[in-house]
Structure 1
Amino acid sequence: MIGPILARRDAAGFWLAVVLTGICTGLGAAALTALLELVQHALWGGNGVDLLDGATQSAGWWHILVLLGAGLLTGIGQLLLVRLSAANSIDITAAIWFQAGRLPMVRTLGSAVLSVLVVGMGASLGREGAPKQTGAVLANLMSNRVQLTDEQRRLLVACGAGAGMAAAYGVPLGGALFALEVLRGELALRFVLPALLTSLTATGVSWAFLPDAPTYHIPSYPSSLSCALWAVLAAPIIGVASVGYVRAVAWADHHRPTGTWRLVAPAVALTMLGIVSIPFPQLLGNGRDIAQLAFTGQVAPLLLVALVALKPAATLLCLGSGTPGGLFTPSLATGALLGGVLGLPWMHLWPGVPGGLFAVLGAGALLAATTQGPLSTIVLMVELTGHARAAIVPMLLIVMIATLVARTIEPRSIYDARLSDAEVKRRQRQREAVSDGGAGA
Structure 2
Amino acid sequence: MSSPQPNLDPGGDFGWRFWCLAPVTGVAAGLSAGLLMQLLHRVQALAWGTGAADFQAAVTAARPLHRVLALALAGLVAAAGGLALRRGRIRAGPAGGGHSGELSAAIWFRGGRLPFLRTLAQGVLSITVVGLGASLGREAAPKQTGAAFGSLFARGLGLSPSHTRILAALGAGAGIAAVYEVPLGGALFALEVLLGSLALPLVAPALLASGLATATAWLLLPERATYAIPAEPVSQALIAFSLLVGPLAGLAAAAYVRLIGFADARRPTGVAALIAPVPGLALVGAVAMGLPQILGNGKDLAEQLFTGGLAWPLLAALVLAKPLATALCLGCGAPGGLFTPTISFGAVLGGLAAYAFSRVVPGAPPGACALVAATAVLAAATQGPVSAVVLMLELTRRLDAMMVPVLLAVAGSMLVARFLEPRSLYACRIREIDRAAQPGDPAISVAAPYLAVLRAMPVDGGPLRVFDEAGAYLGPVDADRVRAPCCADGPLSTATAGDFVVLARRVP
Shorter-chain-normalised TM-score: which range? over 0.9
Say whether residues 1:116 and 2:135 are aligned partners: no
Say whether residues 1:159 and 2:170 are aligned partners: yes
Say whether residues 1:59 and 2:63 are aligned partners: yes
| SS of residue in 2 equivalent to 1:213 | coil
Correspondence for 2:147: 136
Say whether residues 1:418 and 2:418 are aligned partners: no
Match of 1:196 among 199, 207, 210: 207
Compared CA separation, residues 363 and 193, structure 1 to 2 (3 A)? same
List per-residue Cα deviations over 1:95-118 (Å, max 9, x = no partner): 111211011223222111111001
Please say if residues 114 and 152 of structure 2, whose CA atoms lie closer than 8 Å, have aligned partners that are also in contact.
no
Equivalences for residues 225-240 of structure 1 within 5 A: 225-240=236-251
Unpaired segments of 5 or more residues in structure 1? none
Match of 1:211 among 206, 210, 222: 222
Say whether residues 1:407 and 2:418 are aligned partners: yes
Compared CA separation, residues 209 and 307, structure 1 to 2 (3 A)? same
Correspondence for 1:394: 405
Say whether residues 1:40 and 2:44 are aligned partners: yes
Correspondence for 1:252: 263
List per-residue Cα deviations over 1:365-391 (Å, max 9, x = no partner): 110000000000000010000125221
Correspondence for 1:430: 449
1:30 partner letter: G
Q: CA RMSD in A?
A: 2.1
If the length of structure 1 is used for normalisation, what is the TM-score? 0.94
Cα distance in structure 2, aligned partners of 1:228 and 1:48 = 34
Correspondence for 1:241: 252
1:38 partner letter: R
Compared CA separation, residues 390 and 32, structure 1 to 2 (3 A)? same
Correspondence for 2:104: 93
Correspondence for 2:365: 354
Correspondence for 2:179: 168
Cα distance in structure 1, aligned partners of 2:10 and 2:25 = 21
Cα distance in structure 2, aligned partners of 1:346 and 1:251 = 32
Compared CA separation, residues 357 and 16, structure 1 to 2 (3 A)? same
Cα distance in structure 2, aligned partners of 1:432 and 1:410 = 23
Say whether residues 1:78 and 2:82 are aligned partners: yes
Cα distance in structure 2, aligned partners of 1:99 and 1:2 = 25
| SS of residue in 2 equivalent to 1:407 | helix
Compared CA separation, residues 427 and 310, structure 1 to 2 (3 A)? farther
Please say if residues 166 and 172 of structure 1, whose CA atoms lie closer than 8 Å, have aligned partners that are also in contact.
yes
Compared CA separation, residues 47 and 154, structure 1 to 2 (3 A)? closer
Cα distance in structure 1, aligned partners of 2:138 and 2:409 = 26
List per-residue Cα deviations over 1:196-255 (Å, max 9, x = no partner): 000001000001111111100111112222211211111111111111111111111010
| SS of residue in 2 equivalent to 1:223 | coil
Equivalences for residues 321-360 of structure 1 within 5 A: 321-360=332-371
Please say if residues 82 and 107 of structure 1, whose CA atoms lie closer than 8 Å, have aligned partners that are also in contact.
no
Cα distance in structure 2, aligned partners of 1:48 and 1:100 = 35
Correspondence for 1:378: 389
Compared CA separation, residues 228 and 423, structure 1 to 2 (3 A)? farther
Compared CA separation, residues 185 and 375, structure 1 to 2 (3 A)? same
Q: Which has the higher mean CA deviation after the structures are superposed, 76-85 or 47-56?
A: 47-56
Rg larger for: 2
If the length of structure 2 is used for normalisation, what is the TM-score? 0.82
Please say if residues 17 and 146 of structure 1, whose CA atoms lie closer than 8 Å, have aligned partners that are also in contact.
no
1:76 partner letter: A
Higher helix share: 1
Correspondence for 1:23: 27
Match of 2:275 among 254, 264, 280: 264
List per-residue Cα deviations over 1:244-277 (Å, max 9, x = no partner): 1111111110100011111211000111111111
Cα distance in structure 2, aligned partners of 1:47 and 1:114 = 18
Please say if residues 186 and 210 of structure 2, whose CA atoms lie closer than 8 Å, have aligned partners that are also in contact.
yes
| SS of residue in 1 equivalent to 2:423 | coil
1:274 partner letter: G
Please say if residues 227 and 395 of structure 2, whose CA atoms lie closer than 8 Å, have aligned partners that are also in contact.
yes
Correspondence for 1:303: 314
Same amino acid, percent of matched pairs = 46
